[in-house]
Amino acid sequence: MIRVTAIETGKARMKMAQRTARQGRGPLGRKIDIFTDHQWVEPLPILCFLIEHSEGRFLIDTGDTWRNSVPGYLPGWNPFYKQVQIRVAPHEEIGPRLMAMGIDPSEIGTVILTHFHHDHTGGLDHFPHSRIIGPKANFAVSTGLRGMMMGCLPQRWPIWLKPELVEMDGPAIGPFHASHAITKDGRIALVPTPGHVAGHVSVIVRDDGVTYFLAGDATYSQPNLLAGKTDGVTNDAMTAAATLKAIRQFAGQQPTILLPTHDPDGPRRLAEREVMVV
């Protein structure tokens, strides 16, 4: 049996226009809407997910870091960082959270990144001895000035970071045209879910009788997914909408528990094993 555990690592606040974009808005219009929006959503969790499998412990994403609160940590020249508020106390980082669960971070065999945005990579410092896997296509747009403009902080990544960059080189899984197996038994696999950002992936975990769909930021919430509502971050709304459709189709084919990174209802659905109804 596979065990999946949600771990909250602080809170994030975003504008309403970031969580749910206005229909018909292009990439520039979506960014303008975020900057001009005066409404903030409630504080949302920054979730990581621990998978305990016969082949070891796998951690999906690493959350963010308390250092966001340190002046100069976020690049002041990028005004987008003023449109998002990250609140992480030192004890809320993923390392201390795992230690509180009785798990030393060195016992995490593999860390999987759905993408390289800062609220998914901020906890990497806790895993210098772990295998780090990330999508090659997303890494390609996450480094250098381009990455820094798109919500990544490559200048803050650990100096030892050399992620194992993977491609979607495996067979189709349901409506997803390709995949990448993580475990030998195929029960943990990556599938392409681009849209929020290019190269984004989600993690499929097949347990007995149910599949966990660890969606990263492919959607911010299950209601948005079911309604086909894309976020304000995407520069490719058509691709984002196609990804949401593929996830719904997948959930229609098998009992699926949806677990996005910032969905406050996700931990409850996980605890109650509530599957998505499409």
Burial of 165 (0-12, 13-18, 19+ CB in 10 A): middle
- Hey, CA dihedral for 69, 74, 79, 80, is it positive or negative? negative
In a domain, 277, yes or no: no
Evaluate if residue 165 carries a pLDDT over 90.
yes
pLDDT for the residue 207 = 97
**Helices and strands of the chain, counted as H and E runs:** 9, 12
The chain-wide mean pLDDT, for the chain, equals: 97
Judge if pTM exceeds 0.85. yes
* Domain with 52 in it: 3-272
In one letter, which amino acid is 103? I
**Would you say residue 47 lies in a domain?**
yes
The pLDDT of residue 1 is 82
Residue 173 pairs in a beta bridge with 176
The strand pairing partners of 190, in sequence order, are: 180, 203
On whether residue 208 sits in a domain, the answer given is yes
Percent of the chain with pLDDT over 70: 100
Is residue 278, in this structure, part of any structural domain at all?
no
d(C-alpha 230, C-alpha 236), whole Å = 10
Altogether, the residues listed in the chain come to a count of 278
Each residue's pLDDT tens digit, 200-236: 999 999 999 999 999 999 999 999 999 999 999 999 9
CATH of the domain at 106: 3.60.15.10
- Closest CA relative to residue 164, chosen from 200, 192, 139: 139
Of 5-19, 71-85, 186-200, 244-258, which gets the smallest average pLDDT?
71-85
Q: What angle do CA 155, 158, 159 make, to 5 degrees?
A: 85
**pLDDT tens, residue by residue, 60-106:** 999 999 999 999 999 989 998 999 999 999 999 999 999 999 999 99
- What does the block give as tokens for 255? 């009992």
Give the three-state DSSP class for 140: coil
C-alpha span between 143 and 203 (Å, rounded): 23
* Average pLDDT of the residues in 13-35: 95
Report CA Rg, the chain.
17
Counting residues of the chain whose pLDDT is more than 90, the rounded percentage is 95
Nearest to 117 by CA among 101, 96, 134: 134
Of the pLDDT bands very low, low, confident and very high (cuts 50, 70, 90), residue 52 is very high
Residue 141 lies in a domain: yes
Q: Is residue 34 part of a domain?
A: yes
In the predicted model, what is the mean pLDDT of residues 50-64? 98
pLDDT-based confidence at residue 123 (cuts at 50, 70, 90): very high
> How many domains are contained in the chain?
1
Report how far Cα 40 is from the mean position of its chain's Cα atoms. 20
